[in-house]
Structure 1
Amino acid sequence: MKKLFLVILLALSQISFAQNYKIIYNTFFEGKENKNQDPTIIFTNDQQTFIVSDKIAKSAKEIPFEIQKISRADNTVIQYAFLQNNQVSEYQNNEILAKQKFELKSDTKKILGYNCKKAVTSINSNTMEIWYTNDLKVKGSPTILGQDLGLVLEITRNGNSTTKATEISEVKNFSVENIFAKKKITATDELSYKDLLWKSRFTTIPIFENETINFTNYLKSDEKILRFAKGTIILKKVKYPKIESNSNVFVELTEQSAGDAYDRTGTVFIIPQNKEKSFFDALQNGTKTVPTFDNGNGKTYQGVITTEAYEPALELMRFFTPFGIQQFNHLKLKDKNWHDKVQYRQDISDLKEILSGKEFWTGVFIGNYDKNGHKISLEVTVHKDGLDVFKNNTVIPLFNTLNIMEMDGQDYATMFDSPKGLITNFTLTKDLKNVKLRYITTGHGGWENGDEFLPKENKINVDGKEIFSFIPWRTDCGSYRLYNPASGNFSNGLSSSDYSRSNWCPGTTTNPNYISLGDLKAGNHQIQVLIPQGEKEGNSFSSWNVSGVLLGDQ
């Protein structure tokens, strides 16, 4: 009995006097310490190691964050993701440390007074130099790399980027363990863990999920989704969150054919309602209820320019469906493995000022004449701490000639056959600095002599002076052949989807052009768009879909 008591006492004394260490690591580039960094901290003893950032160790309030734990008994790495709503996801990896291979060198040096040895390895073509010590009889590292070598005090990547221990101290306990208190931890697999953590780093605004855009006389609007123009437009009221100035905003749309074999024009848009009338009036009551544009060519164009009493639809993203993706994947060609969907994703951070904290009717249009049409999903994501490129605090929609209500009689944008082209008059109530025109343009119409396949110069005049001119043209359409299973193949060895086009390709988005206008004073102004539109040939005609939004600082 006395011997057993001595054994228990010895075990308890070893636990009581276990050495717990806290190591702080800072990062350096080319020998200079990085400013405004959040240092990495590890807590380690002979049983376990925790990796955490200094900010999290002091106050674990900014969700999401990760904590990594290494169990020394079996060298298991456990990753914890702390998510919204008090959720914690856990993933265990029993093999990652055993798979690490190092070339042990004879080099030695001292770091913070401890004798260190050198090991070298390669990670994704990056040369990693690791300095570790066995003086403290514990293991640990500021990353998963080198956890089983000893206590890693320095890691240098490619000879210039270094993470280095700057302070080592003994502690009584691991304060990081308090972060786990009263948390329900859910175990998951590796991919699910990464997906949960990734998605928790930004805000997702779901808008449409697997919705049909088709051509039908049987509209099926409900209390959430409205359908117009014989089903070719779907619309939903969306409340956008408050968006910080340094956030990035992305719109993402996924599309598949549900029956339509052709390439079609599509647009994602919002409907500003700051004036007496808006594009929503046209959708509800017909195009005759909104102002028209007349440049003397004998036609009138409904709802395309801003007026004192009307705002046009504001285009977030223009896209073009490919030829029959998914629905026509049974059309086999050798060495062609068709994609089953298109994902269009575009940065719309320049428009965040108008979206921030507001509610908009948000819609998608795909011009088509097929009863089965297309399937789409749409979401907007907001990412904090991004790159604030344009820094504009003002967004003013000016014109949008894309005939979103084509199937309800809205005319094609053929106004460029007149020398006047498109003219938009607008009034600024305040001076506007660093003004840019967010300009999207695509040409359309028939083979050979149609403007879809002919380079045409676009000219932008502001207050009577030419400001900018360019030829919008895409030569990379052949890059997207695998999106286009139903694209016709011709005797010259090309497919229809291969041909260069006026600023678009089947299966792509069209990027905006940002045209600098300098500073504009308060008062009346005019923007004119001139394009040498091709002449009508029989039943074939050309048109140009252009949209313009004014960006600037007040």
Structure 2
Amino acid sequence: MRKRLLFAFFAFLYYVSSAQTYEIQYTNSYNGKIQTEQSPTFIWVNGSENFILNNSIREQKSEYPFEITKIEKPSNTIVSYGFLKPDEIISTADKESVARQTFELTNETKKILGYACRKAVTKINSNTIEIWYTGDLKISGGPSVLGQNLGLVLEIERNKNSLITATSIKKVKKTNIADIIKGSITSTDLLGYKDQLWKSRFTTLKVFENETINFSDESKSDEKIKRFANGTIILKKVTFPKISEGENVFIELKQQSNGDAYDRTGTVFFIPQNKSQSFFDGLEKGAKTLPVYENGNGKQYYGIIPTDNYDPSIEMMRFFTAFGIQKFNHIQLKGKDWQTISPYRQDITELKPSLSDKELWIGTFIGNYDKGGHTVNLEITIHKSDQTVYKNNTVIPLFNTVNIMEMAGQDYSTMFNAEKGLFVEFTLKKDLKNAQLRYITTGHGGWENGDEFVPKVNSIFVDGKMIFSFTPWRTDCGSYRLYSPASGNFPDGLSSSDLSRSNWCPGTVTNPEFISLGDLKAGKHSIQIKIPQGPTEGTSFSSWNVSGVLLGIQ
């Protein structure tokens, strides 16, 4: 009888303990310094559930999106709630992750807030995680999904520098979790949940979705997409939100061959429209309606430099298609498993001042003469960030010699065969501090002796003084061989896509050079680009696609 009473008594104590809800607050620190900018983590835990959130969420002051995690006991099912918007909540359940956790249990002990704790160690993605847990309270839980089977986790240390540790434990009669997790909740699978939560953390502007860029008389504009130069240019008007100083802007284009087997020049650009004439006028009325540039070599180049009434297009990203990716993947070579898509992604935060809170024509050009051409997807994403690498508030277009209207009669950029090269005059209405030239350059043309395959020095002069000189050259083109199934193979064992080139490779983005110009005073200035362009050989000629915008603070 006495044994039964004792058993019943201890069972009652366990029930009371497991039914009791504890509120435990934790602080985050890094290298011994408390991370005051982070809202403290805390949990509500009892024998049936463990909620993980933070003070901002509890006080319903957290910015969207945010996440609350619940671990159901004793199954240790992880239920995640993603709050994407005030009226949009998604959830998913994971019944396996906790069971898969493995730990090395050590004999080390210490006390945290008066409770005897033991240490367990695990490794995750090359990170060493040390977990201190206690069995004194007869419940399991913690500020992370890690260690839910061990006991009550009071401290987690990662790589001896990142620490989350309990600072207070108290009993509570009830929580306000029902006031936070309420309303309609949409359940989804784990990958779908992660994808939706991830994408909700930034703004996505869809520009082009599965659009064809080709050469065909049948290419026509529609209500959303304008097409020019026989379909080699596509254009769409995009509305940008106001972009704050603490946000980054990225552009991402994905490209596949839809019939064209060759490597081609591509560019993503936008059209400034703050003057009486714009590049858009040239698209609609013809390249020769744009301002002309002449440097004494007998040729005329239209729409490439600014005037009082015109600004050239601003290049966002220069890219190059690979040899026939996807469409020509049927070409088999031993040991080669071809990629199916060429991705191009680039940080363009420095252009933010000219994008923020504006409606702009965004265009993409791929120079080709193929009816199938290429298929592209383009989006721009805006991300909240603590990085402030680019602090310029001014973007001034200076030149863009990429012959975007090539298939509508715009000439190749061969102006560097004259001593004058490219010469641009511009006027600053105000002083420009910390001025930089955002300069993109690629050499083209010819075969073995053309500037595509011969290194050439680019020299930049400001107000008659050379301020920068370099040789743009890429030697890593062979790294992208698997993007080029139609690349020709030569008797020497190389493929065309292996060859080094003047600042580009098939299947890659060409990065801008950021050239410091110091402080520029208000008034008239000049910038000159000189390149020793190679001579014409029969029908083969060389050219250089260069674009430049002036960045700085006014």
TM-score over 0.5 for the pair: yes
Matched residue, 2:117: 116
Question: Partners of 1:177 and 1:447 in 2: how far apart?
Answer: 71
Aligned-pair distance for 1:25?
1.2
Deviation at 1:142, TM superposition (A): 1.1
Separation (CA, whole Å) in 2 of partners of 1:451 and 1:169: 74
What is the distance in 1 between the residues matched to 2:16 and 2:235?
Answer: 65
Q: Distance in 1 between matches of 2:351 and 2:39?
A: 31
Describe how 1:85-100 pairs up with structure 2 within 5 A. Answer: 86-100=87-101
What's 1:397 paired with? 397
Over residues 159-199 of structure 1, what are the superposed CA-to-partner deviations in whole Å (9 max), with x where a residue is unaligned?
222111112122221223311122x1122111111111111
| CA distance in structure 2 between the partners assigned to 1:15 and 1:118 by the alignment | 27
Q: Tell me if structure 2 keeps the 8 A contact 1:232–1:366.
A: yes
Deviation at 1:62, TM superposition (A): 1.4
Change in 2 beyond 3 A, CA 1:17/1:217: closer
What pairs up with 1:295-314 in 2 under 5 angstroms? 295-314=295-314
Deviation at 1:204, TM superposition (A): 0.3
Structure 2 contact 18–48 (Cα < 8 Å) conserved: no
Q: CA deviation at 1:115?
A: 1.1
Amino acid at match of 1:496: S
Correspondence for 1:3: none
Q: Structure 2 CA distance, aligned partners of 1:286 and 1:169? A: 75
Partner of 1:4: none
1:533–1:542: 8 Å Cα contact kept in structure 2? yes
- Is 1:547 matched up with 2:554? no
Matches within 5 A, 1:70-469: 70-84=71-85, 86-182=87-183, 184-469=184-469
Distance 1:339 1:53 in 2: 43
One-letter code aligned to 2:261: A
Question: Contact (CA 8 Å) 1:248, 1:386: kept in 2 or not?
Answer: no
> What is the deviation of 1:16?
12
Shift of 1:74: 1.6
CA distance in 2: counterparts of 1:30 and 1:382, whole angstroms = 31
- Paired with 1:190 and 1:236, the residues of 2 have a C-alpha distance of 35
- Structure 2: how far apart are the matches of 1:409 and 1:392? 36
Question: Residue 304 of structure 1 aligns to which amino acid in structure 2?
Answer: I
What SS is found at the alignment partner of 1:141?
A: coil
User: Secondary structure of 1:334's partner?
Assistant: coil
Cα RMSD for the two superposed structures: 1.6
Aligned residues of 1:60 and 1:179 also touching (Cα < 8 A): no
Partner of 2:3: none
Amino acid at match of 1:399: F
- Measured against aligned partners, the alpha-carbon deviations of 1:104-158 in whole angstroms (never above 9, x if no partner) come to 1121111111111111111122221111111122221111110121111111112
* Alpha-carbon distance in structure 2 between the residues aligned to 1:156 and 1:62: 27
Secondary structure in 2 matching 1:311: coil
Deviation at 1:259, TM superposition (A): 0.1
Aligned equivalents of 1:85, 1:136: Cα separation in 2: 36
Task: For 1:14 and 1:156, locate their aligned partners in 2 and report how far apart those are by CA, in whole Å.
Answer: 31
Distance 1:386 1:496 in 2: 42
Q: Is the 8 A contact 1:269 1:314 kept in 2?
A: yes
Q: Which residue of the partner structure matches residue 510 of structure 1?
A: 510
1:386 positional shift: 4.0
1:465-484 matches, cutoff 5 A: 465-484=465-484
Does the 8 Å contact 2:257/2:326 carry over to 1?
A: yes
Matches within 5 A, 1:9-88: 18-84=19-85, 86-88=87-89
CA distance in 2, matches of 1:363, 1:57: 46
Identity of aligned residues (%): 63
Residue aligning to 2:494: 494
| Residue identity in the other structure for 1:435 | A
What secondary structure is seen at the aligned counterpart in 2 of 1:437?
Answer: strand
CA distance in 2, matches of 1:190, 1:181: 21
Matching residue's letter, 1:446:
G
Higher mean C-alpha displacement, 82-91 vs 281-290: 82-91
Matches of 1:203 and 1:295 in 2, distance apart?
A: 44
Task: Report SS of the residue matched to 1:310.
Answer: coil
Q: TM-score under structure 2 normalisation? A: 0.96
Question: What's the secondary structure of 1:478's corresponding residue?
Answer: helix
Check whether the contact 2:18–2:46 (CA below 8 A) recurs between aligned residues: no
CA contact (8 A) 1:400 1:546 kept: yes
CA distance in 2, matches of 1:449, 1:16: 83
Aligned residue identity for 1:56: I
CA deviation digits over 1:344-376, x for unaligned, max 9? 000000001110010001000000000010000
Q: Distance in 2 between matches of 1:232 and 1:446?
A: 22
Deviations 1:5-64 (Å, cap 9, x if unpaired)? Answer: xx9xx99x9789932111111122232323422221111111100011222122255111
User: Which moves more between the two structures, 164-173 or 520-529?
Assistant: 164-173
Q: Which segment is superposed worse, 255-264 or 102-111?
A: 102-111
Greater displacement, 226-235 / 94-103 = 94-103
- Native 8 Å contact 1:437 1:517 kept in 2: yes
How far apart are the structure 1 equivalents of 2:511 and 2:422? 21
- Partners in 2 of 1:121 and 1:238 — Cα distance? 48
Query: Which AA in structure 1 matches 2:271?
Result: I
TM-superposed deviation, 1:85: 5.9
Total equivalences in the alignment: 544
Contact 2:462 2:525 (C-alpha < 8 Å) held by counterparts: yes
Q: Describe the SS at the equivalent of 2:167.
A: strand
What is the CA deviation profile of residues 243-267 of structure 1, one whole-angstrom value per residue up to 9, with x for unaligned ones? Answer: 1111110000010000000000000
Q: Which runs of 5+ in 2 are unaligned?
A: 1-7
- Classify 1:293/1:99 alpha carbon distance in 2 versus 1 (closer, same or farther; 3 Å): same
Contiguous gaps of at least 5 residues in structure 1: 1-6
> C-alpha displacement at 1:96, in angstroms?
1.2
Question: Structure 1: how far apart are the matches of 2:305 and 2:506?
Answer: 27
Where 1:306 maps in the other structure, the secondary structure is coil
Deviations 1:309-350 (A, max 9, x none): 110000000000000000000000001000111110000000
Equivalent position SS for 2:19: coil
Q: Deviations over 1:213-246 (max 9, x none)?
A: 0001123101111000010000011101111111
Distance 1:538 1:307, change over 3 A: same
Task: Report the Cα distance in structure 2 between the residues aligned to 1:465 and 1:52, rounded to whole angstroms.
Answer: 59
Q: Please give the alpha-carbon distance, in whole angstroms, between the structure 2 residues aligned to 1:545 and 1:176.
A: 60
- 1:491-518 CA-to-partner distances (Å, cap 9, x unmatched) read 0000000000000000000000000000
TM-score, scaled relative to structure 1: 0.96
Matched position secondary structure for 2:219: coil
Find the aligned partners of 2:86 and 2:261 in 1 and give their Cα distance: 44
Q: Within 2, Cα distance between the matches of 1:103 and 1:42? A: 25
AA in 2 matched with 1:215: F
